[in-house]
Amino acid sequence: MTNQQHPITPPPELVQQWWAKAINRPDADALFATSAAQWGADQELEACCDWLHWQNLATHQDLIPSLRSARRPKPSSLKEQALALLNKAEDPSWDINDFSIVRQALEQLSD
């Protein structure tokens, strides 16, 4: 047998880190599974980006960064959420409870 692992198999050290984080938590299985799934998905995304690069299919300089951004979007900041809610304020579906996000955003601002 060989010492080589399949590229999508996480290294044992990383698996140990996931278990250490998850241990003694009621959601340990879900936390561990989520960590493993995210890691595997990240490995697959990077493999796809590398393949595009080496096949010379990423002819536009922003293609690979755009693919990464589309597949791993950053969560909206509190400011972005608050601005989106204010933009929605004229919509009939506006819910007065949405103001809690606006309040949180404003409370984070310095005076």
Higher pLDDT, residue 108 or 3: 108
Higher pLDDT, residue 29 or 108: 29
* 3 band by pLDDT with thresholds 50, 70 and 90: low
Q: Taking a C-beta distance cutoff of 8 angstroms, is the pair 68, 48 a contact?
A: no
For position 26, what pLDDT does the model report? 93
Taking the complete model, does pTM exceed 0.85, yes or no? Answer: no
Q: What is the C-alpha to C-alpha distance for residues 106 and 86, in angstroms, rounded to an integer?
A: 12
Instruction: Please check whether residues 23 and 62 belong to one and the same domain.
Output: yes
Instruction: Please check whether residues 66 and 82 belong to one and the same domain.
Output: no
For position 1, what pLDDT does the model report? 44
Count: domains in the chain: 2
Domain carrying residue 89: 76-111
42-95 pLDDT, tens digit each: 999 999 999 998 888 877 888 999 999 999 988 888 888 878 877 777 677 777
